[in-house]
Copies of this chain bind each other. A is one copy, B any other.
Amino acid sequence: VLPGDRPLGQQLGAFVAGSDWAATPPALRHEAKRSLLNFAGCAIGVARSEPVEAAARALRPFAGAPQATVIGRAERLDVLSAAFLNAISANLLDYDDTHLSTVIHPTAPVAPGVLALAEWRGLGGAAALHAFILGAEVECRIGNAVSPGHYARGWHITSSCGVFGAAAAAARLLGLDAEGCWHALGIAASQSSGLVENLPAAAKNAAMGSAARNGVVAALMAAEGYRAAPLALEGPFGWMQATGGEARHGEVTEGLGVRWELLRNTYKPYPCGIVFHAVIDACLVLRAEHGLRAEQIADVTVLGDQLLLDRGSRPVTGERDAKISIRHCAAIAFLYGRAGLEEFSDGVVMRPELVAFRDCVRAQRDDALPMGAATVRLRTTDGRALSATVHHPRGSEQYPLTDEEIEEKVRDLARYGAWPANTGPMIKGVWALEDALDIAPLMRTLRLNPQ
């Protein structure tokens, strides 16, 4: 039997159990910290909103000992309940990280279990960081193997693949051997779920919460000797078959431990659909280069691919629509010179000047533009025709956010979430995570009014 013929779960289990922290590249460790910082910001930005409150009320009567921080909130809950709620908060604003080849948001389902387990067990930052890296790797590789068909069929890939990442990370953190990690992934396979249909509702995040929680449960059960079938992933009645039947096994195993998927992680600079980021950048470029004020603009034409047009041409009545509106993205860029959380919020979206500006923006298909790119053309009231094209928006793999920009994003999220504390210690804590002997102090910075 060739190594490549071994069961996928066995190969992944050996990878997770055998990975050597000393051999992980510094750039990878740094990317993991960027992912966690972005994750923490997204969670504190929304942790006291109604959907998270509702989920917390639902779980509270059944929660166990206060073992782990619920990020951005005052209560501590048992590890599993904290993981569930933190995964909900991490993604609720649609502002978390994106692994572009799968559209997985890698951190939301994986980090919550890692942080909660590490906090409960009093583990250090390096162990947590390493487990998170391995979980994200497993999750994204399984996602690569089934993309793009998996998502297209209706599976919300962040949840459906996230449960594998959560299980792998927890298995590593619990010190399982290769076989134990294999069983953890097999138990996780039977709990994978998440539907694209539910994306417009908070139900999307219930699946993400379950992915985070159930992945940890899978590892805990495997640690106690609970067993799964060897081919739970790729067997004739396994996960790959049941969810659609198309999978490239090589994507799971090739270059494992050499090529790292987390190095391709990206962070949104704007809290709206990624397809609109090039539009915003092109508008901001025009505004800055020509010193434009909104009242100097007669009309705007946005050119993009079909996907951009399909997604961005609906009328705007509130925050949810605004986040998928070409017109709104152009309007806030020209009117305010920025596109942060405030500019997409319900209280801002229907301001008269925005309603008026949106009316002078139109969208047009241009098949010559590659996916993700956009051209913005405008005419000024004094008759000038100006144009800018952006191929790689800020936050893309080719033009990543800087560390400082991620920090600024976290501060913006903290303001949005009416976070009362200084974000400095939290930010510093994440950057120093690798050397932290215990992650408890960092988790304390993520709690509302810690004792």
Select which of B65, B200, B238 is within 8 A of A195 by beta carbon. B238
A226 adjacent to B51 (CB under 8 Å):
yes
Alpha-carbon separation in the docked complex, A204 to B183 (Å): 12
Alpha-carbon separation in the docked complex, A106 to B207 (Å): 23
**Given A203-B226, A225-B54, A190-B198 contact (CB < 8 Å):** yes
Min C-beta distance of A245 to chain B, whole Å: 8
A190 adjacent to B159 (CB under 8 Å):
yes
Instruction: Type the 1/0 row for A190-219, where 1 means its CB is closer than 8 Å to any CB of B.
Output: 111111111111111011001000100110
Enumerate A208-253 residues with CB–CB distance to B below 8 Å: 210, 214, 217-218, 220-221, 223-229, 231-232, 235-239, 241-243, 245
Instruction: Type the 1/0 row for A20-61, where 1 means its CB is closer than 8 Å to any CB of B.
Output: 000000000000000000000000000000110111011101
B235 adjacent to A197 (CB under 8 Å):
yes
B residues near A441, Cβ cutoff 8 Å = none
A54 adjacent to B226 (CB under 8 Å):
yes
A122 near B: Cβ within 8 Å? no
Alpha-carbon separation in the docked complex, A138 to B192 (Å): 22
Enumerate A46-94 residues with CB–CB distance to B below 8 Å: 50-51, 53-55, 57-59, 61-65, 67, 78-81
A153 near B: Cβ within 8 Å? yes
Select which of B61, B153, B191, B197 is within 8 A of A231 by beta carbon. B197
Min C-beta distance of A185 to chain B, whole Å: 10
Alpha-carbon separation in the docked complex, A224 to B218 (Å): 27
With both beta carbons as reference points, the residue of chain B lying nearest to A194 in the complex is identified as B190
A187 near B: Cβ within 8 Å? yes
Enumerate A151-166 residues with CB–CB distance to B below 8 Å: 153-156, 159
User: How many of A's residues come within 8 Å of B, CB to CB?
Assistant: 68
With both beta carbons as reference points, the residue of chain B lying nearest to A207 in the complex is identified as B190
B58 adjacent to A226 (CB under 8 Å):
yes
Enumerate A398-448 residues with CB–CB distance to B below 8 Å: none
Alpha-carbon separation in the docked complex, A232 to B194 (Å): 10
**Given A206-B191, A207-B190, A62-B67 contact (CB < 8 Å):** yes
Alpha-carbon separation in the docked complex, A436 to B199 (Å): 43
A395 near B: Cβ within 8 Å? no
A135 near B: Cβ within 8 Å? no
Select which of B51, B80, B206, B229 is within 8 A of A201 by beta carbon. B229
Select which of B190, B200, B204 is within 8 A of A204 by beta carbon. B190
A206 adjacent to B232 (CB under 8 Å):
no
B residues near A190, Cβ cutoff 8 Å = 156, 159, 193-195, 198, 203-204, 206-207, 210
**Given A227-B202, A242-B154, A196-B62 contact (CB < 8 Å):** no
Residue from A51, A58, A186, A241 whose CB has the most chain B CB atoms within 10 Å? A58
A201 adjacent to B186 (CB under 8 Å):
yes
A114 near B: Cβ within 8 Å? no
With both beta carbons as reference points, the residue of chain B lying nearest to A83 in the complex is identified as B62
A181 near B: Cβ within 8 Å? no
With both beta carbons as reference points, the residue of chain B lying nearest to A183 in the complex is identified as B203
B229 adjacent to A199 (CB under 8 Å):
yes
With both beta carbons as reference points, the residue of chain B lying nearest to A222 in the complex is identified as B58
A274 near B: Cβ within 8 Å? no
With both beta carbons as reference points, the residue of chain B lying nearest to A184 in the complex is identified as B203
A279 near B: Cβ within 8 Å? no
B197 adjacent to A237 (CB under 8 Å):
yes
Alpha-carbon separation in the docked complex, A64 to B225 (Å): 23
Alpha-carbon separation in the docked complex, A156 to B195 (Å): 18
B58 adjacent to A217 (CB under 8 Å):
yes
A189 near B: Cβ within 8 Å? yes
B242 adjacent to A153 (CB under 8 Å):
yes
Alpha-carbon separation in the docked complex, A26 to B234 (Å): 47
Select which of B51, B155, B186, B217 is within 8 A of A198 by beta carbon. B186
B residues near A226, Cβ cutoff 8 Å = 51, 54-55, 58, 202-203, 206
User: Can you give 5 A-B contacts (C-beta < 8 A)?
Assistant: A55-B224, A191-B193, A196-B242, A197-B232, A203-B227
Residues of A within 8 A of B (CB): 50-51, 53-55, 57-59, 61-65, 67, 78-81, 153-156, 159, 183, 186-187, 189-204, 206-207, 210, 214, 217-218, 220-221, 223-229, 231-232, 235-239, 241-243, 245
Supplied contacts A190-B195, A197-B238, A201-B229, 4 more A-B pairs, CB within 8 Å: A54-B226, A186-B203, A189-B203, A195-B239
